[in-house]
Amino acid sequence: MFYKFFITFFIILFIFTTFFVSLNITTSNQNLIYSNYITISSSGFAWPIPGYTKITSPFGKRTSPTAGASSYHYGTDIGAPEGTNLIAIADGEITFLGFLGAGGYTLTLSFGDFKITYCHISPNYLVAEGDFVIQGQVIANVGPKYVYGVPGNKYTDSTGRPTNGATTGTHLHLGMRINDKYVNPLEYF
């Protein structure tokens, strides 16, 4: 009797773990980029846009590129086409997701003393606030230049069309704070 129970238990356990563990692994990996496309810095961070490295506006003092943009740039702009995958630079938690003034649609990834902002992203969110993500996971896409129907959006281009925050084109604005103080992200890549 015990022998039949033991065998039945292990058959059920085998079927359960084979089906559900496989299903779980497939689901959790669907937003990952293969590691050969990810560049890891000496600081241990993954470059946020695999395949795109052109800096269109560096951190620091600058001439404002558009109305509403700051003359001191608290991040680094990386040019990329709309829809380009953005990946988590490190394991962490999504602590903000929404429209944030000049940053347009914004996502904040938090871990340790770091808060990383991805600005001008697509409003078609791939993650939710409270999600824990892993380094290399696709967490957003570069957003469109123009967005419509955003309550309180005061940003427009020269034609009056509403933009995704203070922007002149599609790109990622990558902001990095350590203990709530902005730092140049490129010092970590």
Domain range for 81: 35-188
Residues 12 and 89 in one domain: no
pTM value is 0.78
Residues 40 and 124 in one domain: yes
More confident: 20 or 130: 130
pLDDT given for residue 31 in this prediction:
54
For residue 163, pLDDT beyond 70: yes
One-letter identity of residue 103: G
For residue 103, pLDDT beyond 80: yes
Residues 72 and 96 in one domain: yes
Residues 99 and 152 in one domain: yes
Assigned token pair, 130:
């409270």
CB-count exposure of residue 108 (10 Å: 0-12, 13-18, 19+): buried
For 2-14, what is the mean pLDDT?
51
Number of domains in the chain: 2
For 39-53, what is the mean pLDDT?
94
